[in-house]
Structure 1
Amino acid sequence: MKVIRSKEFTAGRAWGALDIANMDGTTVRLHWTDQPYKWHVNDGEEVFAVLDGVVDMHYREAGVERVVALYTGDVFFAGVGCEHVAHPRGAARILVVEREGSV
């Protein structure tokens, strides 16, 4: 049994993470960041839930870059092959569910 108070979590560096669970190769991690990530495509699908803060998610569809603002409680699903990068507006806490070892 675990209780995680996400609003209390911080990391020593951008995108630092607290490993919450590994379920048969699917990881659940709580990330803290105040800096953008990098453009990437995951090794499989990814669920990205904003628990605190605001994140601008940039993604490419058919070679066209788009941006959607994600607010606390919003969830972004990156399907296989979805190129994306998260840009927080200040500090943010994000729950990420993805294949173990994914970028």
Structure 2
Amino acid sequence: MKIIRSTEFTGSRAWEALDIANMNGITTRLHWTDQPYRWHVNDGQEVFVVLDGRVQMHYREKGVEHIAELNVGDIFYASAGTEHVAHPQGAARILVIESEGSE
């Protein structure tokens, strides 16, 4: 049993993660960041939940870049093969659920 107070987690570097659970190869991690990640494509699906802060999620569909503004409580779902990169607007805490080993 764990209780995690997400607003109390602060990393010492961008995209530092607190591992919460690994359930049959699906990881749940809490990330803290104040810097963009990098363009990437996950092997599997990804669920990205903004718990604190604001994030601009850049993603490409058929080669066209789009930007979604994500606020607290917003969820971004990336199907397998969706190219994307998160750009926090200041510090943000994000819950990420994805296949173990995904980047």
TM-score range, shorter chain: over 0.9
Residue in structure 2 matched with residue 34 of structure 1 by the alignment: 34
TM-score normalised over the length of structure 2: 0.99
1:43-83 Cα deviation digits (max 9, x unpaired): 10000000000000000001000000000000000001100
Residue in structure 2 matched with residue 4 of structure 1 by the alignment: 4
Is 1:16 aligned with 2:13? no
Is 1:43 aligned with 2:37? no
SS of structure 2 residue aligned to 1:28: strand
SS of structure 2 residue aligned to 1:7: helix
Whole-Å separation in 1 of the counterparts to 2:30 and 2:42: 17
Residues 41-80 of structure 1: matches in 2 within 5 Å? 41-80=41-80
SS of structure 1 residue aligned to 2:10: coil
Deviation at 1:31, TM superposition (A): 0.1
Unmatched segments (≥5 aa) in structure 1: none
Whole-Å separation in 1 of the counterparts to 2:2 and 2:35: 28
Whole-Å separation in 1 of the counterparts to 2:46 and 2:40: 12
Unmatched segments (≥5 aa) in structure 2: none
TM-score normalised over the length of structure 1: 0.99
Aligned length: 103
